[in-house]
Amino acid sequence: MTDIKQGEPDQDTGKEKEKKLTKPPFYLPEFEAAYRYIVDDYDVKPRDIAIFIPCAVRKPYSTSPSHRIMRKIIEEVLQPDTYHIVIFGTCGIVPSELETMYPFAHYQYMLGKVKDKKIQDDFLRIETDRVAGYLTKTKNTYKRRIAYCIGPFRESLIRGSQKSGVIIDSILPGQDVIDKVMELDCPFQEGSLNMDEYLLEFYQGLIRMRDSLN
């Protein structure tokens, strides 16, 4: 694997924040309308592998340091016509090619800073339903599905998979790697997806999935 350096934290300037929706996006009608468009009307092209990665603070998502690192790994392992990146999290769930569509590039929100249990529970409930809806829609679109996520995003993906009956073939990082990271002195309980331990497993997981199809 190409040597990958730690990315800087995703962030927006103060000027950009003034232009963005700042309330919890999963409550907003704009996000429900966009989700309904994706699930009911949008034509998702078939691919061998769907790659589910979390949304980022910086918009569009592909410009964020974390997404640039993930995409670099993906591009190193897979051919462009074999995979489809799908973003999920507080945004709901969105094919990456729609990342500039309103409202996905027009909000500022960090669930990790929220301490209100009701908001946390509401996010998990709403996002579980949205993940399940997308997985149901695309159950025959992909041959394999892999996800790279931790925390409540990971939990919503697992629950959405269970609710839809559509299997996520690989959810990374594995719990054993997460447990090792939690023993380290990290500012976040499960660390960051930019950590070398997690990125290496993501890289190796993509290779395994590619080889399983070959």
Question: What pLDDT, on a 0 to 100 scale, did the predictor assign at position 181?
Answer: 81
In a domain, 171, yes or no: yes
In a domain, 106, yes or no: yes
Tokens of 103: 């409202």
Q: At what angle do helices 196-213 and 175-182 cross, to 10 degrees?
A: 170
Strand 83-89 relative to strand 92-95, pairing: antiparallel
Tell which residue, 102, 106, 98, has the closest CA to residue 22: 106
In a domain, 7, yes or no: no
Cα–Cα distance for residue pair 79/94, rounded to 1 Å? 21
Tokens of 150: 């931790």
Counted domains in the chain: 1
Percentage of the chain with pLDDT > 90?
75
In a domain, 148, yes or no: yes
* CATH at 116: 3.40.50.10630
Are the C-beta atoms of residues 84 and 142 closer than 8 Å to each other? yes
pTM score, two decimals?
0.88
pLDDT tens sequence across 138-197: 999 999 999 999 999 999 999 999 999 999 999 999 988 888 887 765 555 566 899 899
Tell me which residue range forms the domain holding 27.
14-213
In a domain, 84, yes or no: yes
Tokens of 41: 């009307």
Are the C-beta atoms of residues 146 and 206 closer than 8 Å to each other? yes
| Residue 24: DSSP 8-state | -
In a domain, 125, yes or no: yes
Neighbours of 5 (CB within 10 A): 9
In a domain, 159, yes or no: yes
In a domain, 37, yes or no: yes
